[in-house]
Structure 1
């Protein structure tokens, strides 16, 4: 019965998507319209919600015919909520999509390709100035379904005061995982504080940071043809084994994601690898208490770092041409020079419009005063997409992978066997037609 309902819902979504391909949007919003905007920043309690609400208010003031009904939905619930609400007849017209949901949004939720509804010249004009690496993140089968919005790369935050107390040079932070181990051991031995924590594991962590770790060792999680999981292959296992070695050496603390963030903000953690979206929180804790700095994600020996993104894209979900135009106008505003100035300076995400970084009208002066953003900007040049797993079981596939990796790192068993068991479990959840 459940499968039958799912197939019916999928058919409904496909019908909506087909309707959206009928023609392009009107040139302007000339009659009043209300659009539903599902946004996970609105569901937060920090700077993300406040900044997003202000941007929406500014958009409405500049576009009096458009009323935006902002709906806060946690990132982990976005796709489930949309599926339920569309089936009930009141889904979003535009949504903030986590990149790992891309495959599901396109194939099951009726996401609309921008090239199918927005005039090509207008689309090209808006894309101008946006990082080409960022634009590729929301492309599926050659079309832009998601316009990159709020995201970052993995940043290694570190406490320069603890470095000094441990006899380390804070002006030369570790750049490889081997150097991380040496620095973390010195911090543990000489200060008694935690040497290293990461945001890789935990219920709210997702798998984006883990994917970047594996990729930086020239591994992967999914084959190029999207049929076979590969996170138990030697390169991936070697990356996981490295974390296991750090934990076994007593320099990598098994802290949950909130405890790790709080510890870094309180000055009791030496190094913390995590999204830059928490930068504002860490800066608030460090100000007047300790010297907070940041550097790029560690590499494996001489292999180049291959970071992937966290975060989200904006996706048009409506099949109504007027609402599509209103959603596109909101999308343009939320990815404008002004919006990215707010998003970067007040929340901590990357400015995808890199031409504003040195422009004093936008981020120029702020960037000079906030050097923590530099590692993120540097890694934008090497950015690779967060892989979205195929099929309706994509979240269970990611969970099986992450549960296996967590067991491999902290469980005390053989990392190769733990990853092989997890991969076998996850492969059984892949779409049968692609096996």
Structure 2
């Protein structure tokens, strides 16, 4: 079970706040306009972080916009704000959207601020995770809440079907078979295996491709890379889920089904781990396990969001930097990881017992994500003006597979054609 907000407050208040150069003088109070997503997951966390930050920086106030549902909705709001000169000062954006913004002149490089503080290592960021916030060699974002795909396991259902929760099959056909065994042996209707295919930004579709050693975009190129054996395999795997009778559930509906004990195995983001533990409350055995890699060179796309400074005003940028540094620093990441299930991007928080060290010792389900850091890779973003539209096109084709309305053989050429039609001319 995750730490309650009150405990996190005591932890944070007992820590030494790492202070950088004061952003503004007390008589020049600045109110930061901040945008974040997924209120069900992040509301209490962001409010707590803002409270602690303003206690340490009374010259800076944090005012949140109404949070939006997901990363695509946030991106649309930011792009509209560029036109109307009403962008937020700080935004928590999907990792896959950095290029979308930077190519349109949105976002402040943070390199000078980082250098002034002594560098990324001194600030405590994992190099692999900090790299997720870069675009063409510059640091535009810092990791706030990083997720990896994992398997959520109802160990009671697995045991009842004759399986071993500690030694699950590592291929999707075998996992589907185990899921069907759970369905056949359950006293009431259940879903043995559920794959959260509709995750934002086609994340779990990309995960299948990269876990097989493939790429959404060709390495070093803006051309599509999923027209490959790995892409074909990923589509065939989605088709397998559809043909197995897997229901088509909304993301929240699938999660509620899992914590209610009617889904045996669920492939999902680690972002839900803390909430799942709290909602299950020991009513059945629950553990997380790594996402299966289908190839020795397979990788997993890092999901989640980075904190970016979007303000163009120098004083507001400096204030925004102080906030970004705090929420992605040891104190902010301690609260973030313990209250959600996302992986922290700051190793100081992980390595110190009084921060997250003791927490991870007593919460093993949260450590699965950390174990997957060595195989983390890019969550690809499509180039050009139609980046967000391409996401919706891919979602439509993948839904046809998981609902058994189409086949992988039919889908691949149509998917390639439809995505290419929306790509910039130089990327076709």
The yes-or-no answer on 1:135 pairing with 2:130 is: yes
Return the alpha-carbon distance in structure 2 between the equivalents of residues 245 and 361 of structure 1: 46
What is the CA-CA distance between 1:129 and the residue it aligns to? 2.4
Structure 1 residues without counterparts, runs of 5 or longer: 1-24
Q: Tell me the SS of whatever aligns to 2:193.
A: strand
Note the 1:221-232 alignment, pairs <5 A: 221-232=216-227
What is the CA-CA distance between 1:279 and the residue it aligns to? 1.3
Aligned to 1:343: 336
Residues 294-325 of structure 1, C-alpha deviation per residue, up to 9 Å, x if partnerless? 1000122x535411122111111111111111
What is the CA-CA distance between 1:126 and the residue it aligns to? 6.3
Aligned residues: 403
Structure 2 residues without counterparts, runs of 5 or longer: 1-19
Q: 1:249 to 1:97 in 2, by over 3 A?
A: closer
Q: Tell me the SS of whatever aligns to 1:200.
A: coil
Aligned to 1:6: none
Contact 1:93 1:317 (C-alpha < 8 Å) held by counterparts = yes
Return the alpha-carbon distance in structure 1 between the equivalents of residues 236 and 344 of structure 2: 34
Report runs of 4+ in structure 1 exceeding 6 Å deviation. none
Aligned to 1:70: 64
What is the CA-CA distance between 1:134 and the residue it aligns to? 0.6
Q: 1:150 to 1:72 in 2, by over 3 A?
A: farther
Aligned to 1:21: none
The yes-or-no answer on 1:55 pairing with 2:49 is: yes
The yes-or-no answer on 1:326 pairing with 2:319 is: yes
What is the CA-CA distance between 1:213 and the residue it aligns to? 1.2
Contact 2:133 2:140 (C-alpha < 8 Å) held by counterparts = yes
Note the 1:173-322 alignment, pairs <5 A: 173-191=168-186, 192-201=189-198, 205-250=200-245, 252-300=246-294, 303-322=296-315
Return the alpha-carbon distance in structure 2 between the equivalents of residues 178 and 326 of structure 1: 52
What is the CA-CA distance between 1:246 and the residue it aligns to? 3.5
What TM-score, normalized to structure 1? 0.87
Return the alpha-carbon distance in structure 2 between the equivalents of residues 317 and 126 of structure 1: 24
Contact 1:344 1:351 (C-alpha < 8 Å) held by counterparts = yes
Pick aligned residue for 2:83 from 82, 87, 90: 87
Return the alpha-carbon distance in structure 2 between the equivalents of residues 172 and 434 of structure 1: 43
Return the alpha-carbon distance in structure 1 between the equivalents of residues 73 and 234 of structure 2: 30
Return the alpha-carbon distance in structure 1 between the equivalents of residues 117 and 268 of structure 2: 36
Q: Tell me the SS of whatever aligns to 2:265.
A: strand
Aligned to 2:34: 37
RMSD of the TM alignment (CA)?
2.1
Q: Tell me the SS of whatever aligns to 1:417.
A: helix
Q: 1:80 to 1:412 in 2, by over 3 A?
A: closer
Aligned to 1:158: 153
Contact 1:82 1:109 (C-alpha < 8 Å) held by counterparts = no
The range that moved more, 330-339 or 84-93, is: 84-93
Contact 2:117 2:123 (C-alpha < 8 Å) held by counterparts = no
What TM-score, normalized to structure 2? 0.89
What is the CA-CA distance between 1:218 and the residue it aligns to? 1.5
Q: 1:174 to 1:123 in 2, by over 3 A?
A: farther
